[in-house]
Amino acid sequence: MATVAINQEAERTITFYRSAVGKKVVMAVTGFLLFGFIVMHLIGNLLIYLPKDSNGQWPIDVYAAQLHAIPELLWSARIILLVAVILHIVAAWQLSVLNKLEARKQGYVRWTPVASSYASRTMVWSGPIILLYVIYHLLDLTFGAFNPGFEFGQVHRNIVASFTRPPVAAFYIIANLCLAFHLYHGLWSMCQSVGIAHPRYTPVLKMASKVIAVAIGIGFCSIPLAVVSGLVR
């Protein structure tokens, strides 16, 4: 009896996922998780602006050590994030295939970007750029493979060592601007996908998405700029 109920539930979930709405909901939920990580990561990274504490340690190093202190928790969060990234990418790719099929069915001859904003059209390339950026970023600041001055656990030192190379700092700034664009459209789409949409609230939600995306972009971009300008050393 219980097995039948589980099978029916699984079938319903699969049928829902097969629909465009199902894929959009998966994108919204995974996007929300990734957004949560980005906000927490930004708050943690802004600790780089604090001076050394009374023990002579950089607050950002102390914070990183605390995050690494419980490996079970750290790895659980990493696995959840990785699954969210994979689902987000797969659903995005499947949705774009569905959209193309739909467009071909309607057989329009001329592409007119009437309802799509600049940010929504940039989703197609900002997503892959962010993915490549995260891969580089892990090799740079988590594993140290691309960072000659890397020392495990010395987060402040590793960030400064990385961003004192102007081309790397420029790359981080460009990638984080792409992230801001991606977030602007992503946050707004997320609200629509989970049904938080009403013509009356549309301007407010769009403005809130823009403000959050710009704040996150400025927050992340400020770090390479602060290192290059010598404010953080």
For ligand HEM, the binding residues (CB under 6 A) are 38, 41, 45, 64, 67, 78, 130, 134, 137-138, 141-142, 155, 158-159, 172, 176, 179, 220, 223-224
Burial of 99 (0-12, 13-18, 19+ CB in 10 A): exposed
Going by C-alpha positions, the residue among 20, 24, 19, 5 that lies closest to residue 196 is: 24
Q: Shortest Cβ distance from residue 200 to ligand HEM (Å)? A: 32
The least CB distance from residue 108 to ligand HEM, in Å, is 35
Q: Which is nearer to ligand HEM, 41 or 198 (CB)?
A: 41
Q: What are phi and psi of 166, to 5 degrees?
A: -50, -40
Q: Which residues of 44-71 are buried (b: 16+ CB within 10 A; e: fewer)?
A: bbebbeeeeeeeeebbbbebbeeeeeee
Which lies closer to ligand HEM via its Cβ, residue 190 or residue 223? 223
Closer Cβ to ligand HEM, 28 or 180, answer by number:
180
Give dist(CA 181, CA 126) in Å, integer.
Answer: 8
Q: The tokens 């892959």 sit on which residue? A: 128
Cβ 169 to ligand HEM, closest distance in Å? Answer: 9
Smallest gap, in angstroms, from Cβ of residue 54 to ligand HEM?
22
Record the tokens describing residue 150, joined without a space.
Answer: 């890397």
Rank residues 33 and 38 by Cβ distance to ligand HEM and give the closer one. 38
Which is closer to ligand HEM, CB of 26 or CB of 180? Answer: 180
Q: In the complex with ligand HEM, which residue's Cβ is closer, 64 or 187?
A: 64
Nearest approach, Cβ of 70 to ligand HEM (angstroms)?
A: 13
Task: For the CB of residue 38, give the shortest distance to ligand HEM in the complex, in Å.
Answer: 6
The whole-angstrom separation of Cα 229 and Cα 169 is 11
Closest CA to 197 of 186, 189, 207: 189
Helices H / strands E in the chain, number of each: 8, 0
